Structure 1
Amino acid sequence: MALQTWWLYVTVVFLIAGTPGPNMLHVMVQSIQHGPRRALASMAGLMSAFLMCLLASAAGLGALLKASPMLYNAIRYAGVAYLVWLGIKAWRAPVASEEEAAATPQRSLRALYLTGLGTGLSNPKLIVFAAALFPQFLDIHLPFLPQLAILVGSFVVIECSWYSVYAVGGRSLARWLAPANRRKLFNRGSGLMFMGFGVALLGSRV
């Protein structure tokens, strides 16, 4: 892979990864609710989903989803339901005082990881996107696996960097959200955004 090609790939991924979406919203919400350190478990879940989708795409699942609209739609509807469920959960989240929040048991790292994993896997378009993106930057005259490792590794570094930005931003926002009325508005706003992402996914096509 030529250096110029890699730089083009990095630029494209950087812009796409930084675009606000359900994953970045999830990182920010978890950072606000549990702090940046515990939000690392959510980030790990999201990144695990990314790696699974990217590797599945490289293995040919992207082409399978394109060839089988029924399979794609089944996965898509499941993703829509999950995002809408996250939205309803965020909308209905109780707003506790600082004393009540301190006394409330924290969610386990495993639960945070699994929620992040579910959020990351809720969009089958990631697999199709990877299947369409990767071939544009692969040199058919060079070994496949080293190039795949470079593309995936670069994607992981860029995605994790954006996660950190949103997590730190979420923690800073947490101080502004200390009053109960602001936290309630944030919960409902983030809930509507999750449901909006679900509706957008419902209207998507391969």
Structure 2
Amino acid sequence: MPLNTWLLFVTTVFFVSATPGPNMLLAMTHGIHHGVRRTAVTCLGLMTGLGIIMLGSAAGLGALLATSEQLFSIVKYAGAAYLIYLGIKTWRAIPQPVTEVAEDSSARHTPWMMFRTGFLVSMSNPKAFIFFTALFPQFMDARLPQGPQLAVLAATFYVIEASWQFAYASGGARLAGWLNSARRLKLVNQVSGGAFVGAGLLLSGVSRH
């Protein structure tokens, strides 16, 4: 892959990944409540889902979702429903200062639960399959072997996406001290919950095209 093509891909993905979305919002929210170290498990779930999406896109699932209205609708509404559920759950969460959450979070937020939440949020958007199917070919040379090019693009996207997730988690962790107030935490829960619900509603309205 020519260096200038790769640098253009890096620039594109850098700004695409920086855009706040469900993945970044979840990383920031967990960073607020659990700190960067524990949120790494959430990020692992997010990145596992992302890896499956990229593999699925490379295998042609993105093209299948783009051509099958029924399959796309099933995945779309399932993903939207989960985001709305997560948003309502976050909105209704009982405000609890971050210092208190840290003391008892091991019982209610096990690593498996955090990993699972990250994985499900990452897998909740069927447009991601089509996104990768549409994005990667723009930076590939059809005359060269496809496997190595896909590997370079996927690894690059993975590193940039993971970096932004930890950046959002770190930003959330820095807000933890400011959030040792039930009133402020309730506001964050409502904003985060509303954003998840909004993402779910927007997702339910997208089309394959």
Identify the TM-score tier after normalising by the shorter chain.
Answer: over 0.9
The alpha-carbon distance between structure 1 residues 103 and 18, as it changes in their structure 2 partners (threshold 3 A), is: closer
Question: What are the superposed Cα offsets for residues 125-149 of structure 1, whole Å, 9 maximum, x if unpaired?
Answer: 0000000011111111111111111
The alpha-carbon distance between structure 1 residues 99 and 194, as it changes in their structure 2 partners (threshold 3 A), is: closer
Deviation at 1:98, TM superposition (A): 6.0
Residue 8 (structure 2) pairs with residue 8 (structure 1): yes
What one-letter code is carried by the residue in structure 1 that aligns with 2:188? F
Q: Distance in 2 between matches of 1:73 and 1:94?
A: 34
Give the alignment's TM-score, normalised by structure 1: 0.97
Alignment partner, residue 172 of structure 1: 174
Q: Distance in 1 between matches of 2:92 and 2:177?
A: 21
Alignment partner, residue 73 of structure 2: 73
Question: What are the superposed Cα offsets for residues 45-95 of structure 1, whole Å, 9 maximum, x if unpaired?
Answer: 000111100110010001101110110010000001000001001001112
What one-letter code is carried by the residue in structure 1 that aligns with 2:48? S
Question: What are the superposed Cα offsets for residues 86-113 of structure 1, whole Å, 9 maximum, x if unpaired?
Answer: 1001001112246743542421111110
Deviates further, 60-69 or 97-106: 97-106
What one-letter code is carried by the residue in structure 2 that aligns with 1:130? F
Name the Cα RMSD after superposition: 1.2
Deviation at 1:175, TM superposition (A): 1.2
Alignment partner, residue 184 of structure 1: 186
Aligned residues: 206
Residue 140 (structure 2) pairs with residue 135 (structure 1): no
| Unmatched tracts of structure 1, length 5 or more | none
What one-letter code is carried by the residue in structure 2 that aligns with 1:96? Q
